[in-house]
Chains A and B, each alone.
Chain A
Amino acid sequence: MKAEQYNRMTDQQLLENYQSSHDNEWLGILLERYTLLLLGVCMKYLKNEEEARDSVQQIFLKVIQELQKYRVEYFKSWLYMVAKNHCLMKIRDRQGKVPAELTERVMAAPDEETDWQALLQNDRVLDLMDESLNELSPEQKQCVTLFYLEKKSYQEISEETGFSMLQVKSYIQNGKRNLKLMIEKKLKQT
């Protein structure tokens, strides 16, 4: 019953309960929601199961300590940043320095937020999107179309196109990013 009640609470509510009562139990409930994601992020950067597991434990400790000192507004994005920075430090300790491409990727500031939700109500934006879709590379266009418009899974796209799963994911991610950039550029020009 209690667990069900907690499940219905948002991250923000759990965080507010923690901030007002300073009871770490709320923090425990909140962090449990992200254990799997943290394990994945640590594994992605550290590429070692044991190190990833230890890092998740260290991140938990860091979060408990930091939240006693600072007030955090957007828990999920803050937690993601803490995890990425922790991994970066680990890699630095291990190798003496961090490969430049990883530093750029980890330290890159999040994309400037465009209110796409509002923009998408505009028919002109949808026309631009249709137009920009045709300007993507053939691979990106094919993968984005199959994924978003035909609602196919990565595996189905991989079977249909002959690309590896990794390539499919990359074409979709890059295609989506390029679409955003193209539309933003076109909107600025008009």
Chain B
Amino acid sequence: MQDNLKDILANLNTEIDQETLLLYLQDKLPASQKHDVERKLSASEFEHDALEGLQQFDDKKKIAHLVEMLNRDLKKKVARKTRRREKLRLKDQPWLIFAVVIFLLLIVLCYMIIHRMIQAQ
């Protein structure tokens, strides 16, 4: 009894995985697990608000699909930002700029030598 009383105010671990939450929303969990999920959800304001919102979806099966789409979009965003940053990072490397300048100078030098040789003939 006393241990159960502690549950009311204890800051319990509210971590709940998305799959379990989706099963809960689709009413696919046994009663014992349902209570466990609800206890965790009621301990955190974030989870509590989220549950209230998710229950407003007309078709609960659609939620998993939506989450998948959002995650796919997130991966693209993250990859795009990473690529852009890598490109920018190239600019920060002075040895690369130096190598490009040397390479261009060599081309100009070669052109001038070949040009003079042609003129000399």
Contacts and interface: CB of A to CB of B under 8 A. Distances in A.
Given A36-B18, A36-B22, A44 B8 contact: no
Interface in A145-178: 147-149, 151-156, 169, 172-173, 176
Given A28-B78, A64-B78, A80-B45, A147 B56 contact: no
Q: Please classify the interface of chain B as helix (H, G, I), strand (E, B), loop, or mixed, using the class held by over half of its residues.
A: helix
Contacts of B10: 116-117, 120
Contacts of A110: 45
Contact of A147 (B38, B45, B48, B85): B38
Interface residues of A, number: 60
**Chain B, interface residues (CB within 8 Å), range:** 35 or more
Nearest to A110: B45
Interface of B: 1-2, 4-11, 18, 21-22, 31-32, 34-35, 38-39, 42, 45-54, 56-57, 63, 66-67, 69-71, 73-75, 77-79, 81-82, 85
Given A38-B50, A154-B34, A179-B8, 11 more contacts: A36-B21, A36-B22, A49-B57, A110-B45, A126-B5, A147-B38, A148-B4, A151-B4, A173-B42, A176-B42, A180-B9
Interface of A: 22-25, 27-28, 31-33, 35-45, 47, 49, 52-53, 56-57, 60-61, 64, 76-77, 79-80, 84, 110, 116-117, 119-120, 126, 129-130, 133, 144, 147-149, 151-156, 169, 172-173, 176, 179-180, 183
